[in-house]
Amino acid sequence: DKRSVHTLTSFCSALHISLVTPSFPTEGEGQFTLQLRPSIRGALLSLLDHYDWSRFVFLYDTDRGYAILQAIMERAGQNGWQVSAICVESFNEAAYRRLLEDLDRRQERKYVIDLEPERLQCILEQAISVGKHVKGYHYILANLGFKDISLERFMHGGANVTGFQLVDFSKPMVLKLMQRWNKLDQREYPGSDSPPKYTSSLTYDGVLVMAEAFRNLRRQKIDISRRGNAGDCLANPAAPWNQGIDMERTLKQVRIQGLTGNIQFDHYGRRVNYTMDVFELKSNGPQRIGYWNDIDKLVLVQNEVLLSNDSTNMENRTVVVTTIMPLMRKPLLRH
């Protein structure tokens, strides 16, 4: 949670120990913090612009910080959006249902949900229980693991659901890992019957980042294991690690390909030059409709095969069918 992350970053700054974390991006600047989870802010704002939403509900919790909330409210002020921002941090299942029913009475049909996976899944289940998963509702999930979320009942209900996917399961590195993953014994590795979540992929990439950093230090002839370099954690004032700066610098210089794509950091330890896919829930399951990155922003792609197989594209459309049979019958009748 946010409090734990802030506590860790404070200790790491004092002791010059780098923190490589898959947690949500922290607010502010921490010299010794490397954030594996990229920001979703730019992609979310681009998607809102694409859909041209001018009125919607934004559901969030404070554990994820206020960065997305602040960005949306700033854009709302610029564009004249009507945003109902509601913190649902302390809500239980009954409170979720009451909230959704109250919003429904206010004719609210568009939602942006910025919650951690457990809370997100809970509120989606409550939306189903009160019938808000049907056609006419649109949900944007501010989450980087669209395929991690159970959306089967939404798929059959007809609601429009859009989200983001950080892990591309078609990439060779991911396919290779999944081949090994699928061979695991479920009795020895509980949970291996389903694909790893994107948060697990971030943790995996964190190990790759640290391994690459150690290799780079070895190439530079920097030995961080020799004695005399360790600081005293209980010293007052704090005694920082002598080679903490070298480690921090080397970690931020890492540039590799991981399960979550290109892994690269800026001076502040934030992910840069990353790409996330944009998905929509179709009648036959989640389908990629485009991608977002810092350079191209939101790029939508057309897949004719998917479009032709998706019967929902024909809903509520008028189809005019013409035939030449009446013209053919006239000469036949005369003869």
**How do strand 261-264 and strand 255-258 relate by DSSP bridges?**
antiparallel
User: Could you tell me if residue 330 is inside a domain?
Assistant: no
- Return the biggest CA–CA distance within the chain: 112
The predicted structure's pLDDT at residue 330: 52
- In terms of domains, do 161 and 54 share one? yes
Domain boundary among 222, 239, 264: 264
Query: In this structure, what CATH number is given to the domain that contains residue 19?
Result: 3.40.50.2300
Boundaries of domain holding 127: 41-165+275-314
**How do strand 275-282 and strand 285-293 relate by DSSP bridges?**
antiparallel
Domain boundary among 243, 264, 285: 264
3-state SS assignment for residue 58: strand
User: Could you tell me if residue 270 is inside a domain?
Assistant: no
User: Could you tell me if residue 302 is inside a domain?
Assistant: yes
Alpha-carbon distance of 32 to 333, in angstroms, equals: 90
* Domains identified in the chain, total number: 2
- In terms of domains, do 178 and 222 share one? yes
- In terms of domains, do 79 and 216 share one? no
Joined tokens for residue 183: 């061979």
What does the DSSP 8-state code read for residue 273? S
- In terms of domains, do 183 and 230 share one? yes
The predicted structure's pLDDT at residue 105: 96
Enumerate residue ranges in the chain where pLDDT < 50: 304-323, 325, 327-328, 332-334
Alpha-carbon distance of 126 to 130, in angstroms, equals: 6
- In terms of domains, do 151 and 232 share one? no
- In terms of domains, do 67 and 95 share one? yes
User: Could you tell me if residue 229 is inside a domain?
Assistant: yes
Alpha-carbon distance of 277 to 283, in angstroms, equals: 19
Domain boundary among 264, 283, 306: 264
166, 141 Cβ separation under 8 angstroms: no
- In terms of domains, do 234 and 85 share one? no
User: Could you tell me if residue 321 is inside a domain?
Assistant: no
